[in-house]
Structure 1
Amino acid sequence: MGELVDHVDEQDRVVGVVDRAEAVRLGRLHRIATIVCRGENGRFLVHRRPDDAVRFPGQYNWMLGGAADVGESYEEAAARELSEELGVQAAPRFVFKFRCAGAISPYWLGLHEVVITTPVRPNALEIAWHDWVTERELESLVRRRQFVADAREAFDRYRDLSRSAGPLPDARGAGGRPARSGSGR
């Protein structure tokens, strides 16, 4: 058996355990945790997937992330994925979740933010290229055909939330200081 994930219902309640490949193949809802990484200067991290990646090869994304393991919270999965993909140890802040129709299959997407204050060490199996871009540059990049479609939907929701509620908190800790994200190991 492969990667096991929680099978969840339309209200994001756990109803069982399923192999992730089976969940995708059969369209069973499961949980995906994503992280939006920002620099202390407010720029967003954008990356390109490797050309040989199983999902979305060669496409661009503004979020890191992956499936939450069985019994793992969105926040725990986000912190694990951040460490695995960027080599950064931090506690990303939960922003929102939504049921995503998904380009491959439906799932619940939990979006988190973190301000990166240390150098990143991208995992070459997950990230072929990365750069830090302004919000205006990100807005333009997201509309390109080579961008992961699910990431577009998440960006639109993030932007709409920001516009309706005023600027989103920038994932800074108490006292306006950045939530520290030391590099791991």
Structure 2
Amino acid sequence: MTGLSICGARYTRHNPERAGDIPTPGWDLAQGSEKLAGMTEEMVALYDADGHPSGQAPRSVMRRENLRHGATGILVSNSAGQVYVHRRTDTKDVYPGHHDFAAGGVMAAGEEPLESARRELAEELGINGVELHPVGEADYRDERLDMHAWLYHVVWDGPVVHQASEVAWGGWMDPDQVQAMIDDPQVPVMPDAVAVWEAFDWPSLVRP
């Protein structure tokens, strides 16, 4: 099945455009070592169907085979109840140029979820030293993504500094503006973020 499943809850939202489970093959480090000779590539954390660590793989292999991996998503809001929205660069390896209202990303091999969320928040938006509030966990799958995600919320009124390789644009938006963006078929928006926005009722989290 494809779509979003909230861990520990009954709510499930699936994408009817794609049916059938995708197998999660392992990656043989010995078999792939020759291809990686002389290269340095990010190793990412793989997770099984129950949300448990199941190994690691190079990022390129994870993307090519759509392997199930660990990820984080952080909703950033300010004290006025606005949400920080950014547009992904056109060089991203998945969903380039899409708008997103969740910072975060792929967990590196050996990383803990909270550690990964703090790293991604600092790298992407330059946000440091802020308390991350856990929101929950969710599984998301489509034709490009297959992940177990840990979700967080932060309130931030300080400056935002973009990572040039990750973020092309960003700004604060009211929740109704975010919803209008989601509802506009002309605006490309990250589908996993949309699923989480609806399932976890993220607008309620940012109300001052």
Q: TM-score range by the shorter chain?
A: 0.7 to 0.9
Matched, 1:156 2:198: yes
Which residue identity lines up with residue 7 of structure 1 in the other structure?
L
SS of residue in 2 equivalent to 1:151: helix
C-alpha distance in 1 between matches for 2:75 and 2:207: 10
Please say which structure displays the higher CA radius of gyration.
2
C-alpha distance in 2 between matches for 1:45 and 1:66: 16
Alpha-carbon shift at residue 128 of structure 1 (Å) = 1.1
Alpha-carbon shift at residue 28 of structure 1 (Å) = 2.1
> Among residues 63, 67, 76, which one is paired with 1:37 in the alignment?
76
Which residue identity lines up with residue 148 of structure 2 in the other structure?
W
Where structure 2 has 5 or more consecutive residues not aligned to the other structure, the ranges are 1-35
Root mean square deviation of aligned Cα: 2.1
Once superposed, which parts of structure 1, at least 4 consecutive aligned residues long, lie more than 3 Å away? none
Q: How does 1:157-176 map to 2 (within 5 A)?
A: 157-159=199-201, 167-168=204-205
SS of residue in 1 equivalent to 2:122: helix
Matched, 1:18 2:57: yes
Give percent identity, aligned residues only: 26
C-alpha distance in 2 between matches for 1:31 and 1:44: 24
Which residue identity lines up with residue 189 of structure 2 in the other structure?
F
Q: How many residues end up aligned between the 2 structures?
A: 166
Taking structure 1 as the reference length, the TM-score comes to 0.81
Flag the 1:171–1:102 CA change in 2: closer, same or farther, 3 A: farther
Q: How does 1:52-131 map to 2 (within 5 A)?
A: 52-89=91-128, 90-131=130-171
Where structure 1 has 5 or more consecutive residues not aligned to the other structure, the ranges are 173-185
